[in-house]
Amino acid sequence: MAKVSPKIPTRCQSHRERGDALILLIVLLAAWQIASLVLGAHVMPAPYQTWLQLVAEIRDPDFYLHLEATVQAFSVAILIAMVFGVMIGLILGARRLAGDVMEPVLITLYSIPKIALYPVILLIFGLDISAKIAFGVIHGIIPIILFTVTAVRNIPAVYMRTSRSYRLGAMASALHVLIPAAMPEIVAGLRIGFSLTLLGTLLGEMFASQYGIGHLLMRAMERNETSTIMALALMLFLFATVASYGLLKLDRYLRH
């Protein structure tokens, strides 16, 4: 009997996913265009009008100063959230009692509206880039910790027994056992933390900053420039979608 190549279902699934994504994109654009026609261009600019406005914003020389400020703050914030989120999650996941004690505390802290903490952050970090970084970190680090804790707890017990039988230290166990075994679930947490950290950074720029994409959004809202708001929102949506898709592909690769 002839063997069926395992690549065929994978390719079919890939084509099917691309087709579904294309259909979803067409539906979203159609709904966007209909909403623009019903509500009016002054309330909901059409997709083509929004795209032209985005191109105009990108061509503005001052735009890159704001983009650079956002990229700097977000890059540092996501790096801190990822590194410390994974480290704390590994510790709490490996130590069952500590994890059971801290998990409800983390969930409670995360349920607090972050915007209520912004005055405290401003008092601590001031009005410079540090406040934006801190606001981004507090949005993204807790989901990463919780996902990492769950990932470590789902590791088969035989892995940890093998680690102890080889007398591996805490660092060696983390590098060679915990992180490789939990990596797919950790990446899933990083996907959530990535989006939330970006959201927190933008919110920080909206309320106390003179530069950044968030500042541009707040200025456009104050001037009621709906076309600029939609253009910047489209840019952020495209960036978040591409980044999320890349992390999703990494997640699937690791799980495979």
pTM, two decimal places: 0.78
Task: Report the pLDDT value the prediction gives residue 49, as an integer from 0 to 100.
Answer: 87
In which band, very low, low, confident or very high, does the pLDDT at 256 lie, cut at 50, 70 and 90?
Answer: low
* Residue-wise pLDDT tens digits, 90-134: 888 878 788 788 888 888 888 888 777 777 887 787 777 888 888
Q: Where are the domains of the chain?
A: 61-255
Residue 252: is its pLDDT beyond 50?
yes
In which band, very low, low, confident or very high, does the pLDDT at 11 lie, cut at 50, 70 and 90?
Answer: low
* Residue-wise pLDDT tens digits, 123-170: 787 777 888 888 889 888 999 999 888 888 888 777 777 777 777 777
In which band, very low, low, confident or very high, does the pLDDT at 3 lie, cut at 50, 70 and 90?
Answer: very low
Residue 176: is its pLDDT beyond 80?
no
Task: Report the pLDDT value the prediction gives residue 57, as an integer from 0 to 100.
Answer: 86
Q: Give the per-residue SS3 of the chain.
A: CCCCCCHHHHHHHHHHHHHHHHHHHHHHHHHHHHHHHHHCCCCCCCHHHHHHHHHHHHHCCCHHHHHHHHHHHHHHHHHHHHHHHHHHHHHHHHCHHHHHHHHHHHHHHHHCCHHHHHHHHHHHHCCCHHHHHHHHHHHHHHHHHHHHHHHHHCCCHHHHHHHHHCCCCHHHHHHHHHHHHHHHHHHHHHHHHHHHHHHHHHHHHHHCCCCCHHHHHHHHHHCCCHHHHHHHHHHHHHHHHHHHHHHHHHHHHHHC
Q: Assign domain 61-255 to its CATH architecture.
A: Orthogonal Bundle (1.10)
